[in-house]
Amino acid sequence: MNALPLQHHGLTASRLVLGCMHLGGTWDRSAPTAEHVQRAHEVVDAALAQGINLFDHADIYTLGKSEQVFGQVLKARPGLRERILLQSKCGIRFPDESAPGRYDFSREHIVSSVEGILSRLGVESLDILLLHRPDPLMEPDEVAEAFRRLKASGKVRHFGVSNMSAGQIKLLRAAWDEPLVANQLEMSLEKLGWLESGVLVNQPPGVHGGFPEGTLEYCRLERIQLQAWGPLAQGLYSGRSLEGQPESVRETAALVGRLAEAKRTTREAIVLAWLLKHPAGIQPVIGTSNAGRLAACADAARIALTREEWYALYVSSRGARMP
């Protein structure tokens, strides 16, 4: 398996990432409890046991409580910070008295968001900061100024994006003179736009694909780490109820099950192995606070799907033969 693009930027990261969105309890203003902190300890232990060293946060996750409880884990474990990579995201703002829900890539918001992230985590710096969702009012020069300030102060080592097209990344890179190291996108056996945009070039259905053509290829060329959020498709092929689902989903789930049985592994591992087979070096972000489910995912890097098995899963999921 080829080196991850992150390694070209001096970041030795695990193939799987732990997504911390569900740590800290509920999405309200209630304070996290001792039970929430204990759950965070258990999930961190489960991740470390499986060789996972990259932990993905965002300032909005459980309204900041995800970072808060993770910070308590770090505080209780001297030396852990030096063994892991911390990534967080900013740019989404919830509705308040002044405006509706919105995105904000202003210099002031980026810098203040990072200050809050570092305070909740109880650390001096982030390894990676991602811009969460594209802000249509983005001024690249203003974003670059925020990045320079954060880099110069030692508060962020590397920067990246999330949910951005190649064109949006190029626009930002015109003002920022360092690499953007990651792009986090929804990619799974269910969400196939990232594949279809290439497969359907010069095909009528490709006009309405929705995924920006060339984004996958641009990230590969620029050594931008592709990180897949939602890689398990919310358990669609690994145990979730299939009542009311289309035939293609039911057939794909059955195929996943047969492959898991043949390879003596879990359904989760098969679904992730399908992503890992792609030569872009995709990093699945496993967004769970369940230690058991995390362990079920860990076998993915060991599973070798053949080209025929990979295509069998792809064609089954798309519900139609290749064009």
Give the integer Cα–Cα distance in Å for 29 and 122: 20
Q: List, in sequence order, the alpha helices (H) in the chain.
A: 34-49, 65-76, 107-121, 140-152, 166-173, 193-199, 215-221, 247-262, 267-276, 291-297, 307-318
Chain centroid to CA 22: how far?
A: 14
Q: Pairing relation of β-strands 126-131 and 180-186?
A: unpaired
Please identify which residue in the block is written with the tokens 């991740």.
47
202 DSSP 8-state letter: T
Q: Tokens 């594209």 — which residue?
A: 134
- In this structure, what DSSP letter does residue 56 have? E
Structure tokens at 108: 């002031």
Name the active-site residue from 61, 218, 311, 314.
Answer: 61
- Dihedral (C-alpha) 204, 224, 143, 151: value to the nearest 10 degrees? 180
Question: H-helix or E-strand containing 158?
Answer: strand 156-162
Helix, strand and coil in the chain, % to nearest 5:
45, 15, 40
Residue 105 CA to residue 73 CA, distance in Å, equals: 30
Active-site residue flag, 314: no
Strand pairing class (92-93; 102-103): antiparallel
Write out the catalytic residue numbers: 61
